[in-house]
A = this chain, B = another copy of it.
Amino acid sequence: MTILTEQPVTSSDKTFFKLRQDIVEGSIASGAKLSETELSTKYAVSRAIIREAINRLESCHLVERKANVGARVVSLTAEGLVELYQVREALEGMAARLAAQNMTEEEIAGLNALLSSHFQEVKGGESYYQEAGDVDFHYRIVLGSKNKHLISVLINGLYHLVRMYRVQLGMAGPRVTTAFDEHRHIVRAIANRDAELAEMLMRRHILYSRNNIAAKLNKAGGK
């Protein structure tokens, strides 16, 4: 399903992954305080482990920490979402550009295969797999850029925050078929090695999806 194969080796890793999952999926509420002592009993590890996990979460922009005070889970705001998608637009646009230059023919064939399987699911109307498929699609292009920094910042960093917004704001949209067409055009540009076009299409794709989500957010929590 998903390409990413990050395997926890140390106990600190495991705790970090669990904590991240709990935050992304909302088991730990957005904006909540993260007490080190409390978490250390909850996850049955020492405080040192929790501290290290919190530090890593801070690097992912999932928690904010103040010295001598503590850490809180980030709160999800409309501005935050816009800012996040602006960064995605820049980085994933560049990723698409580089993917058009650097992906192998095999990888491109794999992308096309992925699109085909998505097409079946779109007809079936399975929105969950759609979500996972979209994630998978973007992952592959980012990895296809072959740019270490790009991959690290997006996949180890921002994507988890993106997922957090999606999960907690309940994104499963009427945008699926539209997005699917956009994916097709992006892949075509990559297959044609048209880096310029691939970047532009990816940026538009993300911009559209941002507007779509922002509209939902305004409709839901219009305070």
Contact = CB atoms under 8 A, between A and B. Distances in A.
Q: How many copies does the complex hold?
A: 2
Contacts of A67: 9-10, 13
A48 interface: yes
Nearest to A48: B48
A60 to B, nearest CB: 9
A158 interface: yes
Nearest to A82: B147
Interface string A5-33: 00001100100000000000000000000
> Chain A contact residues: over half helix, strand or loop, or mixed?
helix
B68 A86 contact: no
Interface string A59-93: 10100000110000000000010011011011101
Contacts of A56: 55, 59
Interface residues of A, number: 31
Contacts of A83: 147-150
Contact of A153 (B48, B93, B94, B153): B153
A78 to B, nearest CB: 13
B87 A147 contact: yes
A191 interface: no
A84 B158 contact: no
A100 interface: no
B158 A87 contact: no
A186 to B, nearest CB: 16
A152 interface: yes
Nearest to A66: B9
Nearest to A145: B86
> 6 closest pairs, A vs B, by CB?
A90-B94, A59-B59, A90-B90, A9-B67, A83-B147, A87-B149
